[in-house]
Amino acid sequence: MVKYIIKLLAVAFALLVAEQLVKGIEIDSFWPSAVLAAFIFGLLNATARPLLQLFALPVTLLTFGVFSLIINIFTFWLITLVPGVTITGFIPALLGLLIVTTISWMIDVIIK
């Protein structure tokens, strides 16, 4: 349980870092919105992303896996459903996803 809370806070921190580094990402109320967005992002990654990847498998195979990146970016963009989180376009979503993924991976390595 503690590991999941640390992971949630790490993703929230990564979102705040992405907000500072990427011009098209805005988080209004800082930590509360970031933690809620991290929670929603985790839920989407656990539920919606596998279903999207399953349904898009033929397209993913035809594009040699590039479409999987599009699905990941779309899943990241869906955190705009959280009030106070804004992502203005494809490039900010891509850069934000890369930052969040990198920081999250680094935290995972440190925790283990």
Please count the other Cβ atoms lying within 10 Å of the Cβ belonging to residue 69: 13
Per-residue pLDDT band for 108 (boundaries 50, 70, 90) equals confident
> Alpha-carbon distance 76 to 82, whole Å?
12
User: Could you report the per-residue pLDDT of 34-93, keeping only the tens digit for each?
Assistant: 999 999 999 999 999 999 999 999 999 999 999 999 999 999 999 999 999 999 999 999
CB 4 within 8 A of CB 111: no
Give the three-state DSSP class for 32. helix
pLDDT computed for residue 31 by the predictor = 87
CB atoms within 10 A of CB 101: 15
Predicted pLDDT at 40: 94
Find, among 79, 62, 60, 80, the residue nearest to 71 by Cα: 60
Give the domain ranges of the chain.
Answer: 2-111
At residue 23, the pLDDT reads 94
Percent of the residues in the chain that have a pLDDT greater than 70, as a whole number: 100
Tell me whether residue 54 is exposed, middle or buried, using C-beta atoms within 10 angstroms of its C-beta: 0 to 12, 13 to 18, 19 or more: exposed
